[in-house]
Amino acid sequence: MNLTVQGMTCGHCVAAISRAVDALGGRAQVDLTRGTVTVEGTTDVAAVRRAIEDEGYKVVDVQAADAERGGGPGGSCCGCRG
């Protein structure tokens, strides 16, 4: 899942969000420039949102992995399994 998060500015922010997501069994990739967090390893959107917001950041948008790939049967934009 991809989240747009406000309030991230430094390495401390990256570490705080990474720890919060790790505690849920996931792995976070934080992009400070884009203001995004990509989470793998957990699909509990509500728990991820809550964990990030409990650290003091604001989640303003969430896109599930299926939505990014089009949600077709093969997980690609057109369902071709490519």
Q: Is residue 36 part of a domain?
A: yes
Do the domain assignments include residue 33? yes
Give the domain CATH number at 59: 3.30.70.100
Give the range of the structural domain holding residue 32, as residue numbers without chain letter.
2-68
Q: Which residue pairs, CB below 8 angstroms and at least 24 apart, start in 6-11?
A: 6/35, 6/57, 6/58, 6/60, 7/56, 7/57, 7/58, 8/32, 8/35, 8/37, 8/57
pLDDT along the chain (82 residues), means of 10: 97 97 96 97 94 97 68 44 41
Q: What is the pLDDT of residue 13?
A: 97
18 in any annotated domain = yes
Q: Is residue 74 assigned to a domain? A: no
Q: Is residue 77 part of a domain?
A: no
Residue 80: inside a domain: no
